[in-house]
Homo-oligomer: A and B are copies of this chain.
Amino acid sequence: MFVNLNATPSTKPKFLSELGSLSQAEIALSEFKYRRGAEVFGEAEPAEYVYQVIEGAIRSYKLLSDGRRQIGAFHLAGDIFGLENGGIHRFTAEAIVDTTVRLVKRVSLAHIAERDATVARGLLTMTASNLKHAEDHMLLLGRKTSLERVAAFLLEMDVRLTAAGVMALPMSRRDIADYLGLTLETVSRALSALEGQGVLGFLGQTQRQIVLLDRPKLAEFDL
């Protein structure tokens, strides 16, 4: 669709080594670029590739027939996404900002896993780690208050993308809201509340750069 591609068969199968430290088998690798907002793949589409974010950020989500959206995960630099055991994608994936991904053909991966137990174990480990994330997120969505959700979100992102003391969020308030099962206003209010309590501060006026001033206090909100 908007697949603003930029085919660049890479020569080093570095991707594999990320995928759970695998063998050095040769696999067709390419890099693609997606523009902000572009769809990488759609829910229920056959899964032809597995992806790794090189730079940028991806959201993967499900939609209800009336447009309600639930984001299941954000994928940041280094993350692998689009891995499906059955051959069908169960989320739609979109670039949040301009994003570069590396990709491998799913079938060739399955092929390799067939004879290489290390690769097979890597696939299992990745699936299990996605499962753990989903399980924790169920608890958040089912039982946590808005403040607790936002605090948990900040703590999660802090680990994943704070550099030089500041966390630069690629996603909008709406994205955060759809990840946390809230509205964007509620997210905004929770962030303001945390700012008011001196737990965090904003940098620049775009409000996407956050400095965590009091991590221990923030952690108290995340039960």
Cα distance A207–B131 in the bound complex, in angstroms: 34
Q: Are B85 and A124 in contact (CB under 8 A)?
A: yes
Residues from chain B with Cβ under 8 Å of A84 in the complex: 128
- Given contact pairs A64-B139, A131-B131, A134-B135, a sample of 8 additional A-B residue pairs in the complex whose CB atoms are under 8 Å apart: A64-B223, A66-B223, A85-B127, A86-B128, A86-B132, A90-B132, A127-B128, A130-B131
Cα distance A117–B117 in the bound complex, in angstroms: 8
Interface magnitude class on chain A? 35 or more
Cα distance A142–B15 in the bound complex, in angstroms: 33
Taking CB as reference atom, which chain B residue is nearest A180? Answer: B142
**Residue among A90, A134, A142 with the highest chain B CB neighbour number at 10 A:** A142
- A-B contacts, 27 listed (Cβ < 8 Å): A62-B139, A64-B143, A64-B144, A64-B223, A65-B223, A66-B223, A68-B143, A68-B144, A70-B138, A70-B139, A70-B143, A85-B124, A85-B127, A85-B128, A90-B135, A114-B117, A115-B117, A120-B121, A124-B124, A130-B131, A131-B134, A134-B138, A138-B138, A138-B141, A141-B142, A142-B180, A143-B181
Question: Could you say how many copies of this chain the assembly holds?
Answer: 2
Encoded as 1 (CB less than 8 Å from any B CB) or 0, chain A from 143 to 154 comes to: 110000000000
A106 contacts the other chain (CB 8 A): no
Residues from chain B with Cβ under 8 Å of A69 in the complex: 143
Q: Are A70 and B124 in contact (CB under 8 A)?
A: no
A72 contacts the other chain (CB 8 A): yes
Taking CB as reference atom, which chain B residue is nearest A124? Answer: B124
Encoded as 1 (CB less than 8 Å from any B CB) or 0, chain A from 173 to 207 comes to: 00000101100000000000000000000000000
